[in-house]
């Protein structure tokens, strides 16, 4: 385990409870159409694993890796695709699973692709939403927790590929960041 003392923002139990509620809500909203869940890698892999295990409806799952050019904790609007979807999109009801919506650039890139491939519908399901930092206007349909403009790690979210394994969400304060960087 890492040695840093993190400032916990959302406890593990609260995450698990909320994820169960979200899965129940989605199961009610999609009783019959067998939606296709598209999981954004890498960050959403833990959230997606917990969410789908709480679903009570038939569904399929696929994965996509998008990246935005990044400088430390700052993101840019330039989004590229690393691995592509393998499932057929046309005519499907899609639910995108993301771990956090920040500027919204990553999701708006993916939504463009889904429209190009004639998805029947799409909704966004995210564990965390940071509305204060949004740069593009996108509709987020299922939100676990709304958080302020702080950089967070844990439950799949990383800082330089570290801390994805924490079972809770922690704020990466500038003081901790300095000790990591030094
Ligand atoms: P967006 O395109 O700016 O919405 O960025 C989305 C991606 O940036 C997320 O899926 C995360 O991978 C990453 N990201 C944004 N905020 C944070 C954070 O606070 N901690 C860790 N990763 C973040
Ligand atoms: Mg992500």
Instruction: Give me the pLDDT at residue 68, please.
Output: 75
Backbone torsion region of residue 138, taken as left when φ is above 0, otherwise alpha when ψ lies between -120 and 50, otherwise beta: beta
* Cα of 46 vs its chain's centroid, Å: 9
Query: What's residue 4's pLDDT?
Result: 64
Residue of minimum CA distance from atom 8 in ligand 1: 102
Largest CA distance in the chain: 53
Q: Please give the chain's pLDDT, 182 residues, in tens.
A: 555 678 899 999 999 999 999 999 999 999 999 999 999 999 999 999 999 999 999 999 999 998 776 655 556 667 776 667 777 899 999 999 999 999 999 999 899 989 999 999 999 999 999 999 999 999 999 999 999 999 999 999 999 999 999 999 999 987 877 777 76
Helices (H), 36-126: 45-53, 105-116
Q: Which residues of 32-44 are buried (b: 16+ CB within 10 A; e: fewer)?
A: eeebbbbbbbbbb
Distance CA 87, CA 81 (A): 16
In this predicted structure, what is the pLDDT of residue 80? 72
**What's the gap in Å between 145 CA and the centre of ligand 1?**
14
Between the CA of 30 and the centroid of ligand 1 the distance, in Å, is 27
State phi, psi for 135 to the nearest 5 degrees: -115, -25
Rounding to the nearest 10 degrees, give the CA dihedral for residues 92, 93, 98, 100.
Answer: 140
Q: Which residues line ligand 1 (CB under 6 A)?
A: 40, 43, 68, 75, 98-106, 151-153, 157
Choose, from 50, 62, 102, 132, the residue flagged as catalytic.
102
Tell which residue, 107, 138, 115, 147, has the closest CA to residue 10: 147
99 CA → ligand 2 middle, Å: 6
Identify whether 29 is a catalytic site residue.
no
Sign of CA dihedral 95, 97, 98, 99: positive
Phi, psi angle pair for 58, to nearest 5°:
-65, 145
**According to the model, what pLDDT value does residue 44 have?**
98
Q: Rounded to 5 degrees, what angle do the CA atoms 123, 129, 130 make?
A: 135
Distance between CA atoms of 66 and 39, rounded to whole angstroms? 10
Question: Which residue's alpha carbon is at the smallest distance from atom 17 of ligand 1?
Answer: 151
pLDDT of 164 reads: 97
């Amino acid at each position: 385990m890492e040695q840093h003392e993190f400032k916990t923002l959302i406890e593990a139990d609260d995450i698990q409870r909320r994820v169960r509620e979200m899965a129940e809500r989605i199961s009610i909203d999609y009783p019959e159409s067998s939606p296709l869940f598209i999981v954004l890698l890498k960050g959403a892999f833990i959230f997606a694993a917990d969410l789908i295990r709480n679903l009570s409806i038939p569904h399929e799952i696929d994965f996509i890796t998008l990246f935005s050019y990044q400088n430390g904790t700052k993101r840019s609007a330039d989004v590229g695709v690393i691995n592509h979807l393998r499932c057929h999109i046309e005519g499907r009801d899609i639910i995108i699973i993301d771990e956090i919506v920040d500027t919204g650039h990553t999701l708006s890139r993916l939504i463009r692709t889904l429209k190009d491939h004639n998805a029947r519908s799409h909704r966004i399901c995210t564990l965390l939403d940071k509305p204060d930092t949004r740069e593009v206007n996108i509709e987020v349909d299922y939100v676990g927790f709304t958080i302020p403009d702080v950089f967070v790690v844990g439950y799949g979210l990383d800082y330089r590929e570290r801390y994805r394994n924490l079972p809770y969400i922690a704020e990466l304060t500038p003081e901790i960041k300095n000790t990591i960087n030094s």
